[in-house]
Amino acid sequence: DKKHLCTVIVLGASGDLATKKTFPALFGLYKNHYLDPKTQIIGYARTKMDKATFEGHIVKYIKLKTDEDREALPKFLKLCSYQDGQYDKDQDFQVLEKEIEKVEKASGATARLFYMALPPSVFISVATSIKHNNYKKGVITRLIVEKPFGMDLESSRKLAKDLGALFTEEEIYRIDHYLGKEMVKNLMILRFANVIFGSVWNRHSIDNIQITFKEKIGTAGRGGYFNEFGIIRDVMQNHLLQILTLIAMEPPVSLGAEDVRDEKVKVLRYIPPIAKGDVLTGQYTKSKDGKEPGYLDDPTVPKGSKTPTYAATTLFIQNERWTGVPFILKCGKALDQQKTEIRIQFKEVSGHMFTNLARNEIVIRVQPNEAVYVKIMNKEPGLGMKTVISDLDLSYSSRFDNVVIPEAYESLILDSLNGDHSNFVRDDELDAAWKIFTPILKTIDSGEIEPIPYAFGSRGPHGVTEFVAKHGYERSNQE
Ligand code: BG6
Q: What is the DSSP string of 416-468?
A: HHTT--TTS--HHHHHHHHHHHHHHHHHHHTT-SPPEEEETTBS-STTHHHHH
Give this complex's ipTM: 0.98
Which residue has a Cα nearest atom 10 of ligand 1?
215
Helices in 79-198 by DSSP H: which ranges? 90-107, 120-133, 153-164, 182-192, 195-198
Residues 6+ apart with CB under 8 A from 210: 327, 328, 329, 330, 342, 343, 345, 468, 473
Higher pLDDT: 12 or 3? It is 12
Rounded-to-integer distance, Cα 328 and Cα 253, Å: 28
Q: Are 18 and 124 in contact (CB under 8 A)?
A: no
pLDDT confidence bin for 224, thresholds 50/70/90? confident
Counting from 1 in the atom list of ligand 1, the atom nearest the Cα of 338 is 16
pLDDT confidence bin for 479, thresholds 50/70/90? very low
pLDDT at residue number 355: 83
pLDDT at residue number 477: 56
Q: What are the pLDDT digits (tens) for 108-161?
A: 999 999 999 999 899 999 999 999 999 999 999 999 999 999 999 999 999 999
User: Cα(235) to centroid of ligand 1, in Å?
Assistant: 7
User: Cα(77) to centroid of ligand 1, in Å?
Assistant: 27
Pocket test for ligand 1, best of 234, 236, 237, 243 (most atoms within 8 A of CB): 234
- For residue 2, pLDDT over 70 is answered with yes
Residue type, 475: R
Q: What are the pLDDT digits (tens) for 417-468?
A: 999 999 999 999 999 999 999 999 999 999 999 999 999 999 999 999 999 9
Question: CB-hemisphere CA count at 13 Å for 445?
Answer: 14
User: Cα(194) to centroid of ligand 1, in Å?
Assistant: 30
Counting from 1 in the atom list of ligand 1, the atom nearest the Cα of 217 is 10
Which residue has a Cα nearest atom 7 of ligand 1?
235
Pocket around ligand 1: residues whose beta carbon is below 6 Å from it? 177, 215, 234-235
Rounded-to-integer distance, Cα 160 and Cα 168, Å: 10
Rounded-to-integer distance, Cα 181 and Cα 405, Å: 8
Counting from 1 in the atom list of ligand 1, the atom nearest the Cα of 147 is 3
Q: Are 433 and 156 in contact (CB under 8 A)?
A: no
Mean pLDDT of the chain: 95
Rounded-to-integer distance, Cα 102 and Cα 228, Å: 41
Output the pTM of the full model.
0.96
User: Cα(222) to centroid of ligand 1, in Å?
Assistant: 12
Q: What are the pLDDT digits (tens) for 151-207?
A: 999 999 999 999 999 999 999 999 999 999 999 999 999 999 999 999 999 999 999
Residues 6+ apart with CB under 8 A from 346: 200, 205, 206, 207, 359, 360, 361, 362
Rounded-to-integer distance, Cα 413 and Cα 427, Å: 19
Pocket test for ligand 1, best of 22, 177, 309 (most atoms within 8 A of CB): 177
Q: What is the DSSP letter of 9?
A: E
Which residue has a Cα nearest atom 13 of ligand 1?
178
